[in-house]
Amino acid sequence: MQTQVEFNHVESRALFPTVGTKDGQGQAAVQRLELDVAEAAGGAARAVRVTGAQMGIAGIGAVDPIANWSLMSAPKALFSPQDVRTTAATVRGRLHTMID
């Protein structure tokens, strides 16, 4: 989120993304960070399945917000940054409980 700006509820309704690139960010740096996040999200996908921390999306079904984090910047965004952060926190909490 260092290179992203989060849009508020009014700005990101219906057809619009929930995040965009901050002004002044170099495209190469943004792409490098996106690949780093994608790699980490790929590793987290199993934890989401194990903990059942998926989100139900009407008309689509159960979706992993962490693995699909990049959809925040797409038109008709399925997730907000808050959804991804909350899912990550839920996964961490459930994993800690499972380990205990």
pLDDT in tens, the chain (100 residues): 788 899 877 777 778 899 989 999 999 999 999 999 999 998 888 899 999 999 998 899 999 999 999 888 888 888 888 999 999 999 999 999 999 9
- pTM to 2 decimals? 0.81
Amino acid at 75: P
Q: What is the CA radius of gyration of the chain?
A: 14
Q: What is the rounded CA–CA span in Å between residue 65 and residue 48?
A: 9
- Quote the DSSP letter at residue 22: P
Q: Name the H helices within 1-100.
A: 27-51, 81-99
